Amino acid sequence: TQMIAELIEVNKEYMDAGLTNELVIESADTDVAGQIQQLQNLMAKNVDAILVNPGDVNGLNATLTEAVNKGIIVISVDQELNVPGVYNVGIDQKAWAKTSAQWLADKLGGKGEVVQIEGFPGHPANVARMDGVAEVFAKYPGIKVLATDTGKWDEATGQQVMSNFLSAYPNMTGYWTQDGMAIGALQAVMAANPAVWPQGVGEGRCQYLKLWQEALTMNPDFDSIAVAHHPGVSPTGLRIAYNMLMGKKVDTTKLGGSNGLSFVMPLAAVITGENLADGLKMCDGKPDAYLLDDIMTDDEVQQYFVK
- Residue closest to 100 by CA, chosen among 117, 120, 88, 124: 117
Beta pairing, strands 202-203 & 199-200 = unpaired
User: What is the pairing mode between strands 199-200 and 174-176?
Assistant: parallel
Q: Which of 243, 183, 239, 245 is nearest to 214 (CA)?
A: 183
Residue 123: per-residue pLDDT = 84
**Cα-trace Rg, the chain:** 20
Length of the chain: 307
CA atoms within 13 A on the CB side of 266: 7
Q: Is the Cα torsion angle 96, 98, 103, 107 positive or negative in sign?
A: positive
* Residue 259 confidence (pLDDT): 83
Q: What is the pLDDT along the chain (307 residues), one digit of tens a residue?
A: 999 999 999 999 999 999 998 999 998 768 899 999 999 999 999 999 999 999 888 999 999 999 999 999 999 998 899 999 999 999 999 999 999 999 999 999 999 999 999 999 988 889 999 999 999 999 999 999 999 999 999 999 999 999 999 999 999 999 999 999 999 999 999 999 999 999 999 999 999 999 999 999 999 999 999 999 999 999 999 999 999 999 999 999 999 987 899 999 999 999 999 999 999 999 999 999 999 999 999 999 999 999 8
> What whole-number distance in Å separates Cα of residue 80 and Cα of residue 53?
9
